[in-house]
A and B are shown apart, each in its own frame.
Chain A
Amino acid sequence: MSAIEINNVNKVFNAGSGNQVVALTDINLSIASGEFVSLIGPSGCGKSTLLRLIANLLEPTGGDIVVNGKSPKQARLDQDYGMAFQQSGLFEWRTVAKNIELPLELKGWDKAKRHERAMEMLELVKLADFAGHYPWQLSGGMQQRVAIARALAVHPALLLMDEPFGALDEMTREHMQSELLGICRASGTTVVFVTHSIPEAVYLSNRVVVMSPRPGRVTEIVDVSIEGERSDATRDNSAFFKGITAVREALRGVEMSDHVRGIEDR
């Protein structure tokens, strides 16, 4: 069963006015349950817009989207997905545990059950000792782990991530990537992951969706076939490098048509 179906989706901002911007044209994408799919492309290619359409934070101008067999709006109301952004978006007036409890609070869970789940999530991201801390007492990487724990707190079938590791240093970032894979493997979560980094996309994904700007569209979908479980050793694997080369070439096609900013080739 597919977790997400995107058919002929268009998105136009400020339609009809002088500063009309065509963000996405004719997007077709099907994401299977349990799959890890990255969206990659230069700034302005509409990858974050596409993620927000799936999340129902934006409405498409045309076409239709099905999330978990429902409309995106119903999926949002049912809290079928968890979301994480580049900014951890933690509430600084809430402790770490209370931050994770927030989505459960809004679902109407009682206090004991909420706390139990929050502690369970903190175990998962290895921050159980920090439940009573405030976000500003944590490092950037720890804050992002709390944000991921919060996104997973409702045990969603789907995780939507918008450059969640973009603000982290390289070492923390690689560590977080491995942790994210471990968590998703354990829970069978489907992930849609927006990134600027080619190695990050290849390391994490089953498929990498390469997008190009003006207007935003899908130019190529690269299958990443790496045998066995991914670990830090994967980063030295020839299949990993093959994947990187394939994505880079797909992006180069994009580059030739337009100057590209914001692709990290590391």
Chain B
Amino acid sequence: MSSRASTLVRNVWPPAVFGVLFLALWEFVVKFFDLKPYFLAPPSKIWQKFTENFDLVWGAAKVSGTNALIGLLAGALFGMVMSLVLSRFRVLNDLITPLAIALNAIPIFVLVAVLNNMFAITSEVPRRIMVTLVVYFIVLVNVAKGLTQVSPTHVELMRSYAASDTQILRKVRIPNAVPYLFTALKIAAPASVITAFVSEYFGGSQNGLGSRIASNIANSKNAVAWAYVLGACLLGLVFYVISSVLEGVSTPGGRAKRSQEGR
């Protein structure tokens, strides 16, 4: 345990020092070249605005964060259910997986504009649907892979035990897909926050982090906009850390650990 703690310290201090130096350089450049606040605000000013406007940033973060969280949960749920259905019916899999990958490749953000027309102007639903869609595809593609790409030896063994397809699903395919699900969530968690921000650029209530950043920049309140950017970074980080911690807790036998030790 203590060796793990010391590893943590050893892994943390180089990027921490680098981060502090970077901020110092930023501050220095702004002061030294006397850059105008509308061009680039210094970190000290951003921090000051962040603390001054903390309640506003926090409120906006709650709006965007709630949208991201609801979308993340709904998307993960739909993605898991759909991948189970697809793994069960291979014909559907052949039909839908290419479509899912193709849809994932196009910038489906623009859909939110269409969705905004379908709901009330103050509704958060279009943004949540947007996040759900993005997360859904990430989870679907990964979990479907985990359910189908099982070791042939495992399947032969299960057949030699006279196991039914349902038993193979429960005892082999689903456990095999668990690490794939957490990989998907690790990608999907930051993506859900980004999607929630970007969705706010397409109209609707001006209450989230994304719309605050846009409106403050429009009003040349550069430092305040940066304060909201800081809030957005922190929110994304929180989502990422939670998904990483969940991964560590819920993979039995530490398969993640094994892959680290293997190296």
Give A contacts to B, CB under 8 Å.
52, 55, 57, 76-79, 81-83, 85, 87, 89, 91-95, 102-103, 105-107, 134, 136
Contacts and interface: CB of A to CB of B under 8 A. Distances in A.
B162 A57 contact: no
Contacts of B258: 92, 134, 136
Interface residues of B, number: 24
A102 B253 contact: no
Given A85-B157, A106-B162, 20 more contacts: A57-B156, A57-B160, A76-B162, A77-B162, A79-B161, A79-B162, A82-B160, A83-B156, A87-B151, A89-B151, A89-B154, A92-B253, A93-B251, A102-B161, A102-B171, A103-B161, A106-B158, A106-B161, A106-B167, A134-B258
A134 B253 contact: yes
Q: Is the interface of B mostly helix, strand, loop or mixed?
A: helix
A174 B154 CA distance: 26
16 contacts: A76-B162, A77-B162, A81-B160, A83-B156, A83-B157, A87-B153, A91-B154, A92-B253, A92-B255, A93-B178, A93-B251, A94-B253, A95-B253, A105-B171, A134-B253, A134-B254
B37 interface: no
Contact of A83 (B160, B176, B253): B160
A56 to B, nearest CB: 8
Contacts of A79: 161-162
A78 B162 CA distance: 8
A93 B161 contact: no
Contacts of B254: 134
Contacts of B262: 136
B253 to A, nearest CB: 4
Given A85-B153, A102-B171, A136-B258, A93 B160 contact: no
Contacts of B162: 76-79, 106
Q: Which 5 residue pairs spanning A and B have beta carbons closest together?
A: A89-B153, A134-B253, A136-B258, A83-B160, A93-B175
Interface centre among A79, A93, A95 (most CB of B within 10 A): A93
Contacts of B163: 106
A78 B157 CA distance: 14
Contact of A91 (B156, B167, B175): B175
B146 to A, nearest CB: 12
A191 to B, nearest CB: 15
Nearest to A135: B253
Nearest to A136: B258
A82 B162 CA distance: 11
Interface in B204-263: 251-255, 258, 262
A57 B161 contact: no
Contacts of A81: 160
Interface centre among B160, B251, B255 (most CB of A within 10 A): B160
A194 to B, nearest CB: 14
A69 to B, nearest CB: 18
A78 B159 CA distance: 12
A41 B22 CA distance: 67
A104 B154 CA distance: 16
B50 to A, nearest CB: 44
A89 B157 contact: yes
A264 to B, nearest CB: 22
A55 B175 CA distance: 26
Nearest to A134: B253
Contacts of B40: none
Contacts of A82: 160
A66 to B, nearest CB: 18
Nearest to B168: A106
Contacts of B251: 93
Nearest to B178: A93
A93 B262 CA distance: 16
